[in-house]
A and B are shown apart, each in its own frame.
Chain A
Amino acid sequence: MIVEILIYLFIAIGLTFNLLAVIGLLRFPDVYTRLHAGTKCTTFGSIFLCLAVMIHALRIWYLNGEPSSSIMPIHTLIALIAILITNPTGAHAIARAAHRSGVKPVKAVVDDLEEDRECHSKKSST
């Protein structure tokens, strides 16, 4: 009973954050803020959805005790770890590529990276 409530709760949290990620992706003004929404919220939502699947599969394994039932929770854990490692790295790569291809942050208060790059290009040109 309590396991089912946990599964419902985790699925609700996960779907809410995934929906928020997509809304943020549509609402924010530039690439970097969109990456904020598209990376953090999807990762967090995925953690909760994978946890729900893992609890469900662990309960099946506990109820029937077959070794082949252990495949699902373990592989879900592997998929979750793959998401956790690859998602921020991909976001970092996109942000770097966006900055190098000349996309400026909208309404930026400060941009240290741009200043440093200008310093470098002046040094190398003189």
Chain B
Amino acid sequence: MKAFAVTAIVAFVAYLILTAGSGHLALWSIDEIIIGVILSIIVGILSRGIFVKKSYRMLNPKRWLFGLAYIGPFFIAMAKANLDVAYRVITGKIRPGIVKISPNLKTDLGITMLANSITLTPGTLSVDVDEKSNDLYVHWINVKDEAMKKMPRDYRYVCKNFPDWIRRIAE
């Protein structure tokens, strides 16, 4: 029942966002709202087993607040990444390599978020993931020597404290 409610509400919100601006009842027309309720009930019945996987940890509003706060440092890191790439496009100075890091994240959502964050932040691109231990292989455009000393590599050089943020958001 809880799985059905969560799925139906998410589907209804998605429908409302896509049909905003159709009428005068605070942006929506009454027909669109009725059809949206019917469709989201159907979607909730059909796909509740796919959308919700046992754990309801993402219902905690604290995680969503951390997710919003994460945008700030993430956007700064992304701006830095782009200036860095622009510098390397113009000068052509590169020292690439593929390194392995173990961020110790357990859930699929967490590892997906970290891989996408790594791809968009300074000088790094996730290449592969070890599905048993959740280790990431990262292509690094400018390998630093101090990160090469021990195995597995220290993730602070590659992605700063993003794994700690993501642990708070998704685990």
Residues of A within 8 A of B (CB): 17, 20, 23-24, 27-30, 32-33, 35-37, 39-41, 43-44, 67-71, 74-75, 78, 85, 88-89, 91-92, 95-96, 99, 105-114, 116
Contacts and interface: CB of A to CB of B under 8 A. Distances in A.
B99 interface: yes
| Majority secondary structure of chain A interface residues (helix, strand, loop or mixed) | helix
A98 to B, nearest CB: 8
A74 B28 CA distance: 13
Contacts, number: 133
Contacts of A74: 17, 20-21
B95 A109 contact: yes
Contact of B23 (A24, A67, A88): A67
Contacts of B22: 67-68
Interface in B31-86: 78-79, 81-82, 85-86
Contacts of B98: 99, 105, 108, 110-114
Interface of B: 17-18, 20-24, 27, 78-79, 81-82, 85-86, 88-89, 92, 94-100, 112, 115-116, 119-120, 123, 125-128, 130, 137, 139, 141, 143, 148, 153
**Shortest Cβ-Cβ A-B pairs, 5 listed:** A88-B119, A110-B97, A71-B21, A24-B89, A112-B100
Contacts of B20: 67, 70-71, 74
A99 B127 contact: yes
B24 A17 contact: no
Given A67-B22, A99-B127, A110-B143, A41 B95 contact: no
A78 B18 contact: yes
Given A40-B119, A44-B82, A89-B116, 5 more contacts: A35-B125, A35-B139, A70-B20, A88-B116, A92-B126
Given A112-B99, A112-B137, A113-B128, A44 B115 contact: no
A99 B128 contact: yes
Contacts of A30: 96
